[in-house]
Structure 1
């Protein structure tokens, strides 16, 4: 038995033993990938796929010296679980049998709304997970996704997205966990734990700053200060590495102040590894290394692009080998690229293969066929969908009673509007229309008919999602006028690169509803019939012009169980409990802001004629019951710079329905050496309460949670006065108090306390 097969050795020792046996060609081959079957696609599922795809190169040539990763065996073209598993086995067996060292590849897949393959459960989009404010539920979902992928031979998932939203016009808002870095970090860490504990390597993306692109345009340059970059953009990645245990990071496409992320040594080595101690594998976003030559133009050849990325700390090129190939080998042999850089990267990749069992002597390619849309999966998908729906406004029209109901709008009868851009039905199946959507999914109107069998329900589309066609307005208005209540269902249809109104490469000019949907809603509101506006979207849209609606509901692409979940909210079978992870703007124009702003970012009288106050604030969400907050207390009025203060409050369900309240803790630094947010989320927890029941919620707030990047770019805890607020949203905080941090300024680093635990008694 060779040394690298010896399971009694550590993964590091086994990786080093194998690396020592490799030729330069074999080492560089491990840093590449292959996308077998990519030629089957007749459209892009990744940016510029048509330019970079290597569909004509036979697999036996690609894997001649070995291969690091196999790309999307399941996610490229429709394949059953059984056939996909057999394909994995065949490809792995060929690699093992036909290469000198016989080292299997890591198989990776997308998994942002579930395992992105034909027939797999389509869970809600990430923005909907964020609306649950429920890390435990997110972890259960990701563990179920991981179990399915692991069963069919997959090793790595390209999720979660940890980009913090800064501008709602960005097309990929639906893939994010919202606009607060602490919320993103808490839920992102939970998702990572679910994957990693089930044996799947989680890949954090997109590192870093992608969501701060100019004018919210996909791949646009990022101009961001180092303080905002560290305190907002980097925090979720740090949390997901330290608290989640993520073993992989994917670099972003963008450039940061002129330096592409994929060639950024201070980012990929300085911060990620030297500061945070990350020991996992950095992978490129698809063709991100080749972009260094073709898009960023900081390299003059594919080999030169590979050299820049390798030096920065990118270990593996995805999804095909272009830059980590023959030209890079020539640069190493000529001495222009140190072979130590190759050794560094290949060691990390081989160590991960050892951790995954791919270097074991008795390893054999195996996978099993399973039900990828099992009852277990669907139950989790339903729970997330129900807990993610946000009741924005309600004048008493909800819950619905049986009667004459007009259902109007382009999203009312199309279950695909419930699914994100990285769901398989919207990501790949548009190229295969004969296969339908691959899973069972009920539209909202059909779900309502099942939910309210005694109601008389009519359906009118009114208009398309984005085409400027008003020919259906009159029929829709007539249906509304004849009904007791009208439900208008508006929003998005996700797609890729301009094929949808939300999703990767589907950025928005402003925050008006797509097409003529705003005009449709306005026409319905002009009738005497009460109108319930249901927005099913991947981003928040400006709804100020529709503030006269009897009720408003926001659903952020609630997945295959979205129809029954929304119907249950409307009927009252489900008590709404979702909260906004982003604000809902009042007006569509301008560059929308985040709630996480310093004083001058808000509505400052006399400063500007424009008021950025949202229609509905971060953390907002109504219920069919009412909650009361009382008995606020702080355990201390003064703590040292390394101390902890307990913040407690009693929450009571004062209504007649059982429900779940999301108790939110916010922090305000009264005076600091740099401008600080007016409010920042510092803790949260969901509390289930029966009618009349009270629970005592206590947050343990460590002084480290007040830390920020100071004038000299060191992260510090600074003495001073801090206000704390507790309540149901960032704009509804009935309980407040203050405490002082005393002592000297204390520098903190990556070992600082990152979270605020909550106990419920």
Structure 2
């Protein structure tokens, strides 16, 4: 086996012959004449009909767009800038303009695969390959693999009839509570750029327009629809939040950008002239088109003036409103022409007019293997005291966790209905069949869901196994759902495992029921009223105490709720707006059953997309163990190894209230580890979690939301068939209180829509290092089943001016262990000379695979841009001269070698 080095940069991107649009609106006749005189059109014979020159594929995209614009009526131009609603197959869709041969523009909600939105394939229905989440791709630190991943997603986009991909996500993982943190690649702008750029390039090579999102400074869900205002200084805006766009434009000719929900410096992103005109088009040279996120547009004139070219998802401000604004003289038609040219030119350049988007079958097996390969390289070993890999002497193992028989996936627009799934339990049982190892299973807790995101830090959902419905048979409570907020009329009655009432976007009900399948039955639509209109529910049954002592019982959510125990009201959560958390302490006796009644009315929506939510949670005495945990402990005591699978739940529209594991997982892990020291914890979380049990277990494995082959990859890593090579794309804090300056839980400030990005360019690990805040696990961290040594750091001079854009740093890496493995060699720059700069920032990396005892010189290019900074005084990028300290290591904290590079 030869040694393999995957360099991070520079990439070689294949040109597609696309030219930048030089003349946009200086009179369409002039634009047409200029375009037709371009070299690509002057040297090619006309091939299209005389009355439709834009159908001639030999002409330049500029010429074709200008020719087509000449023939469009004002109404048709406005139609092209406005997404179709009503009868459209999905929210992001533009119908064809058949008179002119303009094809439909169907846009796929995507990133980790194609979401089910009104399409059905002959063999696989509305299922597609569910790839690992963006954070998992980030954890691979492998740009070449990102290209393969993206190509497969693009192939499935075409197969499902889409000419445009609403992805990838390039948002920075600024704060760990964010519900969409796993959709982006990382907390670092350099790593994110190195992965999103080949992703964009590969997608557009398949004649699918890539739409990089969300532009810009979008880092939380709390108040996202309430004019949340990201206050970002000019330098951080360019060095951090628009950096991935810069590379994707320069190296991959990015076709489209989605403007985000939030304001940036008090101006909505979709009407922000600084973002869209000054930075995106003037500074970065973007020639594609800008679309809105669903409901992110708030105006007509300011939006089209700033450079938003297409309203998608809604038709409130373009469509008839834009048409009237042009007819009234409030908007010059030349601005509409400018947007139309951008849209058409991109469609021509990427091949949409000639592309074949006929729905067809997808390569299920091939893409499933690729999903597994990505997850193989993403899984990150955080701790290993020797229990892994599992040896042949392991005769029995117990897999624990209610979610161990499903795979980790995200909710919201990132959700995909998979073609098939291999859970950890499935894969471990297969290992058992092949090796003779006995594999047991115990649920231990309850499955996570959207309501899990609102568990508070000091409490957790009351488990189903301490609850009994009316009549006493089984677990859970009797739930009566009413089609009003007064508990009147005929209810829908059923047994539900826990008090987990949730409606709206995160629950997938009602309008978003097709987004993803919830493990909790959705709230019923009683009498056709629609749950968003306001319903109520009464839960009745008993609670049986597993131990004697004081219990803190609590209700949290929004709306009005009460709790009574043995006929006495103990909690009153009524009258307050926003999210509430009300609790009471009660003394209970072991084995005693208490009548429980919870009444809830969804009277006070948090926001329009979250009309109602309620969770019954508790903090029991330390010795109180639910029957489910007790059974897991029993099985763990009988087994050589215990593998506990713990998930979080993440989705757009909601941030996590706490960084702890939900559904009693922390208590479950501690109880299992107390009886079986050989406990392995698998974390299928999109972002960081706290680990109060870390010192009790022998191994911790991070799998991220790993897609439909997550279980296969986990089994391969746990048994040693795959040597883990994933590295963290984000920093894990020690606790929720130990975060770097400027980072706060957005729930703590709900209603205060101003969010100060006071850390500036010190995002993520940079902020931890600058403030000397302790990290649980640093950015870039990950263990292996082998070991590596570093020596011989060699650098050369980089010139601040001139034609040479980069230099190369070399380091000798040796595999000193007994297993073939891959190391991610990370190169960090110290402070730039004479400048207030990050104490440490990533400027290069390479992933090298080495056999035992073998060594290789790893070459890491360092670009001039990575050592430059934005100077607001001169409105330009500046490369300072002098010596810049370089640090080489296996994470942002674990540095092996130090040196310097001279910039002249």
**Band of TM-score, shorter chain:** 0.7 to 0.9
Alignment of 1:670-749 (within 5 A): 671-673=833-835, 675-710=836-871, 712=873, 713-742=875-904
Q: Which residue of the partner structure matches residue 530 of structure 2?
A: none
SS in 1 for 2:57: coil
2-structure distance, mates of 1:244, 1:116: 25
Query: For structure 1, which segment, 458-467 or 380-389, has the greater mean C-alpha deviation from structure 2 after superposition?
Result: 458-467
- Whether 1:403 aligns to 2:385 is no
Q: How far 1:227 moved relative to its partner?
A: 1.5
Q: Which residue of the partner structure matches residue 57 of structure 1?
A: none
- Contact 1:214-1:222 within 8 A present in 2 as well: no
Query: For structure 1, which segment, 589-598 or 19-28, has the greater mean C-alpha deviation from structure 2 after superposition?
Result: 589-598
Q: Which residue of the partner structure matches residue 461 of structure 1?
A: 443
2-structure distance, mates of 1:218, 1:488: 39
- Contact 1:575-1:659 within 8 A present in 2 as well: yes
- Contact 2:731-2:764 within 8 A present in 1 as well: no
Q: Which residue of the partner structure matches residue 414 of structure 1?
A: 406
SS in 1 for 2:696: coil
2-structure distance, mates of 1:127, 1:598: 14
Pick the structure with greater CA Rg: 2
- Contact 1:178-1:581 within 8 A present in 2 as well: yes
Closer, same or farther in 2 for the Cα pair 1:179/1:400, shift >3 Å? Answer: same
Q: Which residue of the partner structure matches residue 317 of structure 2?
A: 323
1-structure distance, mates of 2:427, 2:242: 41
Alignment of 1:638-657 (within 5 A): 644-657=806-819
1-structure distance, mates of 2:432, 2:187: 36
Q: How far 1:349 moved relative to its partner?
A: 1.5
2-structure distance, mates of 1:472, 1:703: 57
Q: Which residue of the partner structure matches residue 755 of structure 1?
A: none
- Whether 1:383 aligns to 2:377 is no
2-structure distance, mates of 1:181, 1:316: 27
2-structure distance, mates of 1:145, 1:620: 28
Residue 792 (structure 2) aligned to one of 631, 643, 646: 631
Listed one character per residue, the Cα deviations across residues 135-188 of structure 1 (whole Å, up to 9, x for unaligned) are 101101111221232245321101011111110101000101010100000000
- Whether 1:487 aligns to 2:650 is no
Query: For structure 1, which segment, 197-206 or 512-521, has the greater mean C-alpha deviation from structure 2 after superposition?
Result: 512-521
- Contact 1:531-1:549 within 8 A present in 2 as well: yes
Q: Which residue of the partner structure matches residue 139 of structure 1?
A: 147
1-structure distance, mates of 2:100, 2:269: 33
1-structure distance, mates of 2:311, 2:199: 24
SS in 2 for 1:243: helix
- Whether 1:130 aligns to 2:112 is no
Closer, same or farther in 2 for the Cα pair 1:226/1:547, shift >3 Å? Answer: farther
Q: Which residue of the partner structure matches residue 184 of structure 1?
A: 192
Query: For structure 1, which segment, 531-540 or 474-483, has the greater mean C-alpha deviation from structure 2 after superposition?
Result: 474-483
- Contact 2:786-2:815 within 8 A present in 1 as well: yes
Closer, same or farther in 2 for the Cα pair 1:359/1:410, shift >3 Å? Answer: closer
2-structure distance, mates of 1:373, 1:688: 29
1-structure distance, mates of 2:386, 2:851: 21
Closer, same or farther in 2 for the Cα pair 1:16/1:705, shift >3 Å? Answer: same
Residue 669 (structure 1) aligned to one of 800, 810, 831: 831
1-structure distance, mates of 2:353, 2:363: 31
Alignment of 1:51-90 (within 5 A): 70=93
Q: How far 1:418 moved relative to its partner?
A: 4.2
Q: Which residue of the partner structure matches residue 456 of structure 2?
A: none
SS in 2 for 1:34: coil
- Contact 2:139-2:727 within 8 A present in 1 as well: yes
- Contact 1:114-1:120 within 8 A present in 2 as well: yes
Give the TM-score taking structure 2 as reference length.
Answer: 0.68
Closer, same or farther in 2 for the Cα pair 1:217/1:395, shift >3 Å? Answer: farther
SS in 2 for 1:378: helix
Q: Which residue of the partner structure matches residue 71 of structure 2?
A: 21
- Whether 1:308 aligns to 2:302 is yes
Closer, same or farther in 2 for the Cα pair 1:715/1:457, shift >3 Å? Answer: same
Residue 283 (structure 1) aligned to one of 268, 285, 291: 291
2-structure distance, mates of 1:534, 1:172: 21
2-structure distance, mates of 1:379, 1:600: 36
Closer, same or farther in 2 for the Cα pair 1:738/1:513, shift >3 Å? Answer: same
- Whether 1:574 aligns to 2:722 is yes
Listed one character per residue, the Cα deviations across residues 386-433 of structure 1 (whole Å, up to 9, x for unaligned) are 000000010000011332212212331222x245644544xxxxxxxx
- Contact 1:584-1:614 within 8 A present in 2 as well: yes
Residue 821 (structure 2) aligned to one of 622, 639, 659: 659
Q: How far 1:330 moved relative to its partner?
A: 1.6
Q: How far 1:102 moved relative to its partner?
A: 4.1
Q: Which residue of the partner structure matches residue 114 of structure 2?
A: 115
Closer, same or farther in 2 for the Cα pair 1:357/1:600, shift >3 Å? Answer: closer
Alignment of 1:746-761 (within 5 A): none
2-structure distance, mates of 1:273, 1:39: 32
SS in 1 for 2:730: coil
Q: Which residue of the partner structure matches residue 369 of structure 1?
A: 360
Query: For structure 1, which segment, 212-221 or 702-711, has the greater mean C-alpha deviation from structure 2 after superposition?
Result: 212-221
Q: How far 1:318 moved relative to its partner?
A: 0.6
Q: Which residue of the partner structure matches residue 268 of structure 2?
A: 260
2-structure distance, mates of 1:309, 1:179: 29
Closer, same or farther in 2 for the Cα pair 1:175/1:599, shift >3 Å? Answer: closer
Q: How far 1:510 moved relative to its partner?
A: 2.5
More strand by share: 2
Residue 228 (structure 2) aligned to one of 209, 214, 220: 220
Q: Which residue of the partner structure matches residue 44 of structure 2?
A: none
Closer, same or farther in 2 for the Cα pair 1:471/1:380, shift >3 Å? Answer: same
Closer, same or farther in 2 for the Cα pair 1:306/1:711, shift >3 Å? Answer: closer
- Whether 1:473 aligns to 2:635 is no
2-structure distance, mates of 1:505, 1:185: 25
2-structure distance, mates of 1:703, 1:347: 34
SS in 2 for 1:526: helix
2-structure distance, mates of 1:738, 1:535: 38
Q: Which residue of the partner structure matches residue 620 of structure 1?
A: 781
Alignment of 1:154-233 (within 5 A): 154-211=162-219, 220-233=228-241
Query: For structure 1, which segment, 217-226 or 173-182, has the greater mean C-alpha deviation from structure 2 after superposition?
Result: 217-226
Point out where structure 1 has 5 or more consecutive residues left out of the alignment: 41-52, 54-68, 72-90, 293-304, 426-436, 493-500, 743-761
Q: How far 1:126 moved relative to its partner?
A: 0.5
- Contact 2:93-2:104 within 8 A present in 1 as well: yes
- Contact 2:222-2:655 within 8 A present in 1 as well: no
1-structure distance, mates of 2:331, 2:800: 50
Closer, same or farther in 2 for the Cα pair 1:180/1:219, shift >3 Å? Answer: farther
Closer, same or farther in 2 for the Cα pair 1:12/1:560, shift >3 Å? Answer: same
Q: How far 1:225 moved relative to its partner?
A: 1.6
Residue 327 (structure 2) aligned to one of 318, 322, 333: 333
Listed one character per residue, the Cα deviations across residues 631-689 of structure 1 (whole Å, up to 9, x for unaligned) are 222235x855557543211111111111111111111125433x211211111111111
2-structure distance, mates of 1:389, 1:22: 52
Q: How far 1:738 moved relative to its partner?
A: 1.7
Give the TM-score taking structure 1 as reference length.
Answer: 0.80
Q: Which residue of the partner structure matches residue 392 of structure 1?
A: 382
The CA RMSD measured in Å over matched residues stands at 2.6
Q: Which residue of the partner structure matches residue 298 of structure 1?
A: none
1-structure distance, mates of 2:200, 2:89: 32
1-structure distance, mates of 2:129, 2:715: 20
Closer, same or farther in 2 for the Cα pair 1:418/1:368, shift >3 Å? Answer: closer
- Contact 2:115-2:414 within 8 A present in 1 as well: yes
Closer, same or farther in 2 for the Cα pair 1:405/1:366, shift >3 Å? Answer: closer
Q: Which residue of the partner structure matches residue 467 of structure 2?
A: none
Residue 565 (structure 1) aligned to one of 706, 713, 718: 713
- Contact 1:160-1:188 within 8 A present in 2 as well: yes
Q: How far 1:214 moved relative to its partner?
A: 7.8
- Contact 2:259-2:270 within 8 A present in 1 as well: yes
Q: Which residue of the partner structure matches residue 35 of structure 2?
A: none
Point out where structure 2 has 5 or more consecutive residues left out of the alignment: 1-48, 117-125, 453-460, 464-625, 744-758
SS in 2 for 1:734: strand
Closer, same or farther in 2 for the Cα pair 1:101/1:633, shift >3 Å? Answer: closer
Closer, same or farther in 2 for the Cα pair 1:722/1:514, shift >3 Å? Answer: same
